Amino acid sequence: MATAAKKNSVKPLARQDENGIPPKRLEVLKTYKIYIGGKFPRTESGRYYKAINKDGGVLANLCLSSRKDFRDAVIASRTAFGDWSTRAAFNRGQVLYRIAEMLESRKAQFIHELILQDIPASAAETEVLLSIDRLIYYAGWCDKFQQIFSTVNPVASSHFNFSVPEPTGVVSIIAPEENSLLGLVSAMSAAIAGGNTCIILASYSKPLCAVSLAEVLNSSDVPGGVVNVLTGKASDLIPYFADHMDVNAIVICDRGADVTRLVQEKAAINLKRVTIYDQINWLSDDGQSPYFIMDLQEVKTTWHPIENIGGSAPGY
């Protein structure tokens, strides 16, 4: 599978010099696979596409994920939701922090991959460092946003009444084409910090970091199925991301008016919550806030009677 790139490959998959002489040590190439339920299968479709840089160099063969892959990912997500959503918020914070630790230790790889995908070196470094910091940012919010957005409601009747945010459920995320790492990390972190599980469609043109991030997640105590990563064609997959009956919400990043409309129409089938992130500067502080977490939360209100014995007032 990985022998496809010979003639027109520039730096990335170069295996021989101009004279056709092989290197002393043959580089071992990575097979970029998708990530479902904590495992790295190939797409069941058996189809692939080539990730290509701007000079036409082939970077790798990527899975062209199918509807079946997506449905498998939804099952994995739904299965993981019960455990992930009921974990202690503190524990979720530790897991997000662990992702940041793992990413930090592999940042050179991610910077390299971004450079391969035509991102200038300094911008690549900025994007990777910000991605790590963003994970830390949301790690810290895991056990705090509830305190900001909860209320105890002073109802007129003799009841104790409070409202708290709870995760919406299974979320499908269409990551942005640009900021292929930072945009994905930002949307993912807000979703899982709030206790949701998700299926992410990676950038088509810059898919490498998404797959490598899955490898980071796999070694970060993120339970299988909490985050699933698919690569492939947006036009093939977005309709399924939008109309699957067991998905509770969908996030779409920078996909233009027509796709947004299509998603909104299809999402109505089970009243998915649709969140649209258009032209968000993920590189700035505008790209992070607890309000992103709240975009994927439901507010639950609980009532219980208060016994009012003899109307007695409290003493000191």
291 part of the interface to other proteins, by CB under 8 A: yes
91 part of the interface to other proteins, by CB under 8 A: no
Q: Which of 174, 251, 267, 296 binds other proteins (CB under 8 A)?
A: 267
Signed CA dihedral, 235, 237, 240, 246: sign only:
negative
Q: State the Cα–Cα distance between residues 186 and 168, nearest whole angstrom.
A: 17
- Pick from 206, 204, 251, 198: nearest CA to 229: 198
Strands (DSSP E) found in 132-255: 151-152, 159-167, 170-174, 197-201, 227-230, 249-253
What tokens appear for 235 in the block?
Answer: 């036009």
With a CB cutoff of 8 Å and minimum separation 6, the contacts of 209 are 110, 113, 114, 117, 180, 181, 184
Of residues 65 and 275, the one with the C-beta less far from other proteins: 275
Of residues 2 and 299, the one with the C-beta less far from other proteins: 299
289 part of the interface to other proteins, by CB under 8 A: yes
88 part of the interface to other proteins, by CB under 8 A: no
Eight-class DSSP state of 205 = S
With a CB cutoff of 8 Å and minimum separation 6, the contacts of 235 are none
CB of 235 to other proteins, least distance (A): 17
Site for other proteins in 25-84 (CB under 8 A): none
Stretch that binds other proteins, among 36-44, 101-109, 197-205, 298-306 (CB under 8 A): 298-306
Eight-class DSSP state of 42 = P
Q: Which of 143, 224, 260, 283 binds other proteins (CB under 8 A)?
A: 260
CB of 143 to other proteins, least distance (A): 16
Q: Which of 16, 159, 233, 235 binds other proteins (CB under 8 A)?
A: 159
- What is the DSSP pairing of strand 197-201 with strand 227-230? parallel
CB of 112 to other proteins, least distance (A): 36
270 part of the interface to other proteins, by CB under 8 A: yes
Q: Which residues bind other proteins (CB under 8 A)?
A: 86, 148, 151, 153-157, 159, 161, 163, 168-169, 248, 257, 260-262, 264-265, 267-271, 273, 289, 291, 298-305
